[in-house]
Structure 1
C-alpha cells in the first residue's frame, strides 16, 4: 500500500473543504472553520503548484502543501481524511510526504505549526524527527489559539541521526 501524490485539482480541493469534517475538538481542522483558510484553499491561484492530493488505490486519503523558501526551508501543511485519523497511519503518511518533498525541493529542513491541543499529531511529528522550536498564539477560526512551531533539520538525518 503506497501513497500516490498528484497536483491538487479544484474538484479535490472542494471535496476536502466541504466534505471532510473531523469529530470533537479536531473539528478545529475543518477547512471551513476559518473563512480566510477556506478562501485560500479553494483559490487555484493561491494554491498554485504547492498543494498535492494523496491517494491510495485511487481513493483520496489526504493532502500536503509545501511552501519552499529560498533558505532551503520547506513549510508543511497536511491533512488526512477524517476516517483515517487516529488509526496509526499518521507516521507513514507524514514520512511519505517528507520523501515526496525531498525529491522535489531537496530542503535543508522542514517546519510546521500545530495546534498545541493536538498531542496526537505532535507525537507523530516527534516520531518522524521533528522537535519543538517555540510556542506562539495564532489568530484563526475566529479566535486566538496556542500553537507550536516544529522543525526537522535534514542535515541531522543525513548524518545518521534521524529516523
Structure 2
C-alpha cells in the first residue's frame, strides 16, 4: 500500500469528523460543526489517502497537535515538532499503525537530522503508546485535565 498526503478539503474534514471510535477510544469522536470543519481546513491538518484515493487518516503538526491544557502545564516548552495523528477507525488495531505513522514522520521530517518529534497521547491509549514506544518515542512529561490524563512522548 502506498500513502499520499492531500490538502484538507471540506468533504474530507466532514468525513473525518464523522468517524466514530468504539470505547474507550470514543474520546477521539467529534461532532461535525462549522468550527470543527474550519479548524481541520485552516489549522495545518493534512489528509492521508491510499493509492485508491480512500481516506486512511490525517495528521497535523505544531500548535494544532498540542492539547491546550498541556500548554498551561508546561508540556511544550522544549523546541520540537509536535505531531498529531488520527487513523480511520476501521483501520485501527489491525497492525497498520507503524506503516501509517512512519509515513507521517517521513512527511514531517526536515533535512535536519537532529529533529525532535513530540506527541501527546491519552494515558489510557495503551495501543498507541506501544506503537510510539516501538518507534523510539519515550515518555517525557505527564499532565491531567478534568477528564483525562496525557503523556508527552518524544523521539530524539
Report the TM-score, using the length of structure 1 for normalisation: 0.77
Misfit runs of 4+, over 2 Å: 38-41, 46-49, 103-107
Q: Structure 1: where are the runs of 5+ without partners?
A: 154-163
- Counterpart-to-counterpart distance in 2, 1:106 and 1:62: 26
Q: Which moved more, 1:74-83 or 1:103-112?
A: 103-112
Q: What is the aligned-residue RMSD (CA, Å)?
A: 2.6
Aligned residues: 142
Q: 1:54·1:61 contact (CA, 8 Å) conserved in 2?
A: yes
Counterpart of 2:66 in structure 1 is none
User: More helix per residue: 1 or 2?
Assistant: 1
TM-score computed with the length of structure 2 as normaliser: 0.80
Map 1:113-152 onto structure 2 (within 5 A): 113-138=120-145, 143-152=146-155
What 5-or-longer segments of structure 2 have no aligned partner? 64-75
Contact conserved, 1:7 with 1:49, CA < 8 A, in 2?
Answer: no
Q: Is the 8 A contact 1:76 1:112 kept in 2?
A: yes
Q: Distance in 2 between matches of 1:100 and 1:2?
A: 13
User: Is 1:48 aligned with 2:42?
Assistant: yes
Q: Which has the higher strand share?
A: 1
